[in-house]
Amino acid sequence: VRSGWAEVLKHGLICDAAFFDWLAGEGAAGARGDPASLEHAVVRSVEIKSAIVGEDEKEAGKRALLNLGHTFGHAIEAELGFEEAALAHGEAVALGCALAFRFSALEGLCTDDDARRVEAVLKAAGLPTRLSEAGTFDADRLLALMAGDKKAEGGAMTLVLARAIGGAFVAKGVAAEPVRAFLRDEGAT
């Protein structure tokens, strides 16, 4: 359930701040199994994903937004070992979303308040928000895994970052050094 809830939250983070607000408030009952809240959350989440995919069936543009949290998350999963991962995929994506928002705030793209709010909502849903909750990581190894991600182009990373909750965007050509420094600040060695 937590992994699915992480995906639902991610859809609000991408492009629907009002939905995220609802999920953070009365909608949070859905994460605890309330049928009406869960139904509304799943229906709205599917609407968001369907609209994005419908606009970009070939994954040439907007569809990449669905990768929010995935570049960080996939690197974490790979480092932990996908098959023996201490985290389910949705949990890794949630952690990746928290990292993406904190990196966005560090880069002055979104507010610190947005990054803190994302962390608080994910944490309230029982999802990981800090590297230390998943294990011990080497910053250079995570960075190498991120740079090798399918979204990387020409050695530079492509990350889905945020200008606000509900305001995700695709950032191409992200330099390695700020990401390495960020990962170290986050507890990677």
Query: Which domains, ranges and CATH numbers included, belong to the chain?
Result: 2-185 (1.20.1090.10)
pTM given for the model: 0.93
Which sign, positive or negative, has the C-alpha torsion 28, 63, 118, 96? Answer: positive
Provide CB contacts within 8 A for 79, sequence distance 6+. 135, 137, 138, 141, 142, 145
**pLDDT tens column, 26-78:** 989 988 889 999 999 999 999 999 999 998 877 778 899 999 999 999 999 99
> Do residues 110 and 104 lie in contact, with contact meaning Cβ atoms separated by under 8 Å?
yes
Of 63, 61, 58, the C-alpha closest to 11 is: 63
Largest CA distance in the chain: 46
**pLDDT tens column, 97-138:** 999 999 999 999 999 999 999 999 999 999 999 999 999 999
